[in-house]
Amino acid sequence: MQSKELGQALVEIIESRRSIRLFDKTPVPAEIIEKAFDLALLAPNSSNLQPWEFFWVREPKQKAKLVNACFSQAAAATAAELVVCIARTRTWKRNCEDMKRQLEQAEAQGTRVPKAAWLYYRKLAPFMYTQGPFGILGFVKRIFFFILGFWRPVSREPMGCSDMKIWATKTTALACENFMLSIRAFGFDTCPMEGIDSRRIKKLLSLPSDALVPMVIAIGKRRADGVTLPRIRGPRSWFIKTI
């Protein structure tokens, strides 16, 4: 497919994607959900540390509890499928070790791995993402980089537990967008729901303490009345700045 055709296809997918509030009873083929997961995992992410997890809740009793935790809103209650999107602040250590292992395998197979990559995953990433007990190390790093920043540009995040939550959530959101656009490309629809009881969801899924729940995504085929309002956006000048 030519680049112009690819561009037009992407425009059509993005423009036709809407947050659907009512779904019909059309089932979504499992292979479409699986492929959308594969494409979600290709999303760009900070340091390739992939701090995301996706829980596809299919068991009827668990799904009913999840709908309740989403306040039984119409998008959740009528969805064919529900996916809980999780951001993790502590899995970076495991994933960093996996990156080093995969780089070693690549090098053993003849790929030249830049020294900067080795330095990053062996030294820099552990230094930047380790926050220490109660975030003490993060606090010390924040002070150090604040002072150093008077003389040179410095990396200022993540420096503390709150920064780690932002880091994990914004990266997971990128994967969520990949997932939703992929579902739309296959002719189905989604609704990202932030109106949720995250504590109940964490209990339902037996999630660890570092897990955050940015959103739950409802999936299905839109009903004719599934879009409740026209797409409304503020003036472009409010959001796009050229300097």
Q: How many CB atoms lie within 10 A of CB 82?
A: 22
Is residue 138 included in any domain, yes or no?
A: no
Residue 31 predicted with pLDDT over 90: yes
Q: Residue 136: which H helix or E strand, with range?
A: helix 136-148
CB atoms within 10 A of CB 215: 22
Which H helix or E strand runs over 148? helix 136-148
pLDDT band of residue 194 (cuts 50, 70, 90) is: very high
Q: Residue 163: its pLDDT value, please?
A: 95
CA atoms within 13 A on the CB side of 206: 1
Query: What CATH number does residue 179 fall under?
Result: 3.40.109.10
Answer whether 0.85 is exceeded by the pTM.
yes
**Domain assignment of residue 147, yes or no:** no
Q: Which helix (H) or strand (E) holds 215?
A: strand 211-220
CA terminus-to-terminus distance, the chain: 35
Average pLDDT, the chain: 95
The residue count for the chain:
243
pLDDT of 148: 92
Q: Is residue 6 part of a domain?
A: no
**5 lies in a domain?**
no
Tell me what pLDDT residue 239 has: 96
The two structure tokens encoding residue 92? 């970076």
Predicted pLDDT at 44: 96
Please count the structural domains in the chain: 1
Strand partners, 192: 217
pLDDT-based confidence at residue 1 (cuts at 50, 70, 90): low
Instruction: Give the pLDDT score at 3.
Output: 84
Does residue 125 have a pLDDT over 70?
yes
